[in-house]
Amino acid sequence: MADDAAPSDGVGFTFDGHAIRATRGVSLLQAWIGAGLPLTENVGCLGQGVCGACRVLVRRPGERLASTALACEMLAEEGMQVAFIDHFPARRAHGYDLQLLTDSWTAIEQIGAVFPEAKHCRHCGGCDHACPKGIEVQRMVDLAVMGQTDAAAGLFDHCVLCDLCVAACPEHIDPAHLGQFVRRMRASLTLRPSDLIMRLHEIREGRQPIDFDAPGANPPPAESVA
């Protein structure tokens, strides 16, 4: 029930200017829907916590600073002030060719070429503070700059691409897409091993002919079974 809601034993709070009373224990998003308010923006997986669309700013009574959260995961509390986050700074384009991410020896150069701003991280911790998933975003940026793609990618396995770290970064580093980039790079380097791909290329082009008579090229004949 919105705006003219009668007091009950639930929790009362404000969401995008609407006074809402909700059952204790419901999420902010459930309270919004239960109040009959329209879902026209910030709509995604509706409660699964996997899409990162329902980004909100939250301030509790007595708190000076607001914090970021996902409305589907944060429970409604008495006296909260909540607002959807609808606007984000313009992104810098980060173009790259996935087919070329196959050489781990040049990982540092590739990351530096696509995300040159990443080395300007000022270690302010804004991205860590903004992340509703508790990801060590700043550490991922550091590891990526050092070319440690596997370790960096591992930190971002639970990223939902909500972009709150992007909005928080004063250096316009775009940690969300840097994390996506290193995850793609890891997949490219490990799921499809570059040396195997190179070998297949060489065989296809006749540069590494297969010698079927080379020692060990053929399995030993099967032993006869009595």
Q: Is 126 an interacting residue with respect to ligand SF4 (CB under 6 A)?
A: yes
User: Which DSSP string corresponds to 142-166?
Assistant: HHHHTT-HHHHHHHTTT-----HHH
Question: 128: Cβ–Cβ under 8 A, 6 or more apart, which residues?
Answer: 135, 136, 137, 138
β-strands 81-84, 11-15 pairing? parallel
What residues between 49 and 68 interact with ligand SF4 by CB under 6 A?
A: 52
Q: CB nearer to ligand SF4: give 39 or 124.
A: 124
* Burial of residue 182, with CB atoms counted within 10 A of its CB: 0-12 exposed, 13-18 middle, 19 or more buried: buried
Q: CB nearer to ligand SF4: give 10 or 52.
A: 52
Q: Is 176 an interacting residue with respect to ligand SF4 (CB under 6 A)?
A: yes
Length of the chain: 226
Taking the complex as a whole, the smallest distance from the CB of residue 156 to ligand SF4 amounts, in Å, to 6
* Cα gap 69→56, rounded to integer Å: 5
Q: Is 141 an interacting residue with respect to ligand SF4 (CB under 6 A)?
A: yes
Stretch that binds ligand SF4, among 2-10, 143-151, 159-167, 207-215 (CB under 6 A): 159-167
* Cα gap 155→150, rounded to integer Å: 9
Q: Is 146 an interacting residue with respect to ligand SF4 (CB under 6 A)?
A: no
Q: CB nearer to ligand SF4: give 20 or 131.
A: 131
Single residue of 31, 153, 165, 182 touching ligand SF4 by CB under 6 A: 165
CA quadruple 170, 113, 131, 18: dihedral positive or negative?
positive
Q: Is 131 an interacting residue with respect to ligand SF4 (CB under 6 A)?
A: yes
Residues that bind ligand SF4 (CB under 6 A): 52, 121-127, 130-131, 133, 135, 137-138, 141, 159-165, 168-171, 173, 175-176, 179
